[in-house]
Chain A
């Protein structure tokens, strides 16, 4: 019986005007987006290759240790998944003079966006009149008089709705993926396909949540005209408002000091305050040293000092010991002040992290945000990838600055002790280079578990609510 009901709902949906329109729209938008994104990805890839060549050319003649950090910087290469999902990879780069303002005004459109906005809207369009529409047509009474249980009807409604939505989406996506498959230079790996599969699974859960919202709203309302109003109201709040407000709300509840303020503060601590402290401590030390080494008490001119240093071994010894003491005092002052600055910076970091965590939690009230995190993390274009990239950079940093550089410098010095190793071009072709590799699927999946869980839980709650509302529905 359930199967008959589902088949009826699917047939009903497929033959409807809205199915035709949404299929056409989805197909056009998805294929156009994939085509454009793939083209854009290829351009990015070309540019990345050109940039690497430039760096190699530079390294051949000008690589020197003093400023190598400005040249060999870890950069994120374009990844094949960018032909579907863009996430945080668009280059706004507000820290550079030539930042790119276009993505700020017109955010790029990608698969995440299409599913999050378009598919959720389509899901509501299909389900807003699931119950009240049948009531208005009078078919609900007929069905119920046939001895079909209400739970079967509501299950069939939900299943039928989701299945009808599934096919247009998957077919359009398949059409888009063919362009990717046919393109020899967009090399998708099995890892990427696995991630895509999971993203599709996430999309289905996401779309189901919106279908359930539609069914729930429609079994609360008596007329489909008011049901669509409520559905759209809920949609606007969940899709267009809650996620956008979340970081602002979080910044009100858990404020973090502005980065500029902290930067100024730490600069002052490590510069002006450090000097004051150092002077004070050095003066004290000098008084102490004057007692310990009376030879130093004499006030000598620079020339006399030099003369005496050369001739008088006692004086030389005292002078060197005192200089070492003073140096230690300054190092101590430096340490104290950096510790103070470190406290401030640590506090800023902690507060920022708390604020981010809260923003994420608030935004996850909206299924759109959960889905966005899920799909960007799975495709390595999200927050998770930023952390992964930072970890890779740190590893490279260690390999270059702690292993490679000291060894190389020592080797250079052993060849020519008088060489200015910092400002001489050096052959660094044997240096470790930064290589970006995407994180394994396991880690990515683990990071998306909360999003999946939230989506599934909200689905379950909505299902229960829709079920109860339909059981109590007055079909007359």
Chain B
């Protein structure tokens, strides 16, 4: 099984091939560099097959008992989660590399870019197949640095400042991650994943944060909170998400890689440490809150941006929030499923986005102004299909699950969460479909029904199968849901709130489509306008951080003045 080590090493060969040799031969080298990447992808597929049939593979190049070798504990632990991530990363890289060969052709940084792409892929693969926390952290940090370099465009001021911001933000989360590792080792004496999980389960530890005041915290909670700080940075969670929109001046293929691969690191980390997170309900609740905030803010800010890349950037932030929220709800496998689907989708969108921008620059034109046509073409068939499918769906699902399958919904938050994801996702898709005007309404209605079937099928069968694939032990999955269970009233109010929001969306859509005026109090309208401005300016967080930085330097200057 030692040959599996080649999978993360092959992209390094690509970097070597591309970076060396004469500049005149760079196209030839770039073509040659594609081969190791493809080989790595095939190797990842083979790994997935081997791991699925034969169980996890462990390759340790160090003695876990010897503290003397702590400096670089290189080892590989490849289970189904790692293998899935490896397939995703190598697959996306293969496509991006091939695309970049044309897109970056004759660019000054062509060789550097392709070389860095190979290096980043290798680092990502090493990270997802790490055998222990320290190795994972080492590659996690290297990834922060590579991201800084990839986001660079040497001569462009805004890009430079964005790259520096990216690195600082990522280092902030890296510091939290490092503190988490140190605390974990201090409490449990190991950084090997399986041993850590076993010891954390068997040895409950209480940390006295402030004994005089009686402040204490569970050891696992403290460790998981700090490590979650690390995940927050890489996955652009509120309030340290600001680096992602600011790094959007980088080459378009970099964004495809960033949004399809690198940014998923946070979700991967939470999944890798799922047994540890499963021991700490408090952390899971915080993860849920942060994820929910990020999802809401990301989606809201996305709607107010006037730049296609920033729009996509905030869309990713929203999706990452969604993914982290899933982890916070104990649906770890759902987060991985989401991560893969989003990665593939966003990769495609970004690769297309480059062409769109180029085309827009070559053939500038005004945006379409067909608002009036939209108003007159309102179709009651489209609207009623959407309305009924969206509102009838919960009833059907409740009937099936509660009546036919006899699942006790009141006692199973996990199942309700899955059902809600089905409902919210399909509602969103169907709401979007109502905006289609150019085709006959029966076609749109049919599309709605097909969408509904696809979403229901995806959640009920694909996600369920994927969950079973990733976490074959059903009790383990149930224990995560149990740990993440929210207090009854809070959960109920969340359910009622989401339901109301979805229904109100339909009511608003109906009224809006019929040209009816919805009376809104003046103060709410004023508030909405202000909210729009705040969201358009990305909550002024960039400015806030800038002011914070200036405050620190101001204090330092005053200190220096006093001393001299």
Q: Do A and B bind each other?
A: no
What residues make up the interface of B, taking CB atoms closer than 8 Å to A? none
